Amino acid sequence: MASNEMDKQSIRALEKILGHRFKDKDLLVRALTHPSHVQGTDQADLHNQRLEFLGDAVLGMIVAHELFLAYPQEREGFLTKARASICHGKGLTELARGLGLENFALLGRSERVATLQNRSLILGDCIEAIIGAVYIDGGFRAVQKLVRSWVIGRIRSLDAEAIAFNYKGALQEWAQSAAAPTPVCYELIDQKGPDHARVFTVAVVIREQTVASASGYSKKDAETLAAKQALEVIRMNENRIPANSPVAANPCGDRILAASAEDKALPES
């Protein structure tokens, strides 16, 4: 992709923000190019999804190493959840917005007016693609330095209790302790994107009502985020399901099992 898709001033500004001067400027431009920006053109394959795939793996490895060093007494379960909290979803979106990537991302018209949730996913993808681009352009030491500068503060300040908290289990306990015990069901309502970066959207259904929904890069992550949002909605409504919650398209009935026995609201030991 020719670097004239992004002007030289913008490239220099972004390099300054990242603290990395690219030998190959086209790599940086491609990292910020969403597929929608080149769709229908003769450059339709020159977008950031391959870099995103690579960056996801590099990010995960570096963060895993830093967590391993920072928390020598914690078990694998905590480390896995901590890595997910940093490498996916809200953590990446907050990082992208903090860097001002919304001002640089190359998007198609529909993505420029997308919902907040979809824009958040796009920004997280751009972070991963930038990591992949820096890895190719500068090697492992360069990308390790970049990622550490982004995440080391978060790693050192992680709340172990919050990381270990089981939102699905907590929601199930609430449902079973209510005046009329009822199962909690998770309904897959949408999935999109390429196989290596598929986004799943899951709704929480309680008493035939959709209480909340959320998206993630795995069904499990989406269910966890949806359960967290459902708990927040219930607590804000004086520990009840809001009366205006929409009727679920596919009520639970006997079709979907309640949360399994392993989803108890206990911190992981």
> CA–CA separation, 202 vs 190, rounded Å?
7
Which amino acid is residue 223, in one-letter code?
Answer: E
Q: Is there a contact between 38 and 47 (Cβ–Cβ < 8 Å)? A: yes
**Which of the residues 66, 74, 125, 128 is marked catalytic?**
128
Q: Is there a contact between 224 and 259 (Cβ–Cβ < 8 Å)? A: no
Clarify whether 128 is annotated catalytic: yes
Q: How is residue 184 annotated by DSSP?
A: E
Query: Which residues make Cβ contacts (< 8 Å) with residue 215, sequence separation at least 6?
Result: 117, 121, 190, 199, 200, 201, 202, 222, 225
Tokens of 246: 């929409």
Tokens of 95: 């990082």
Clarify whether 268 is annotated catalytic: no
The helix, strand and coil proportions of the chain, stated in percent and rounded to the nearest 5, come to 55, 10, 35
User: Which residue's entry shows tokens 């909690």?
Assistant: 184
**Which of the residues 26, 56, 74, 221 is marked catalytic?**
56
Query: Which residues participate in catalysis according to the annotation?
Result: 56, 128
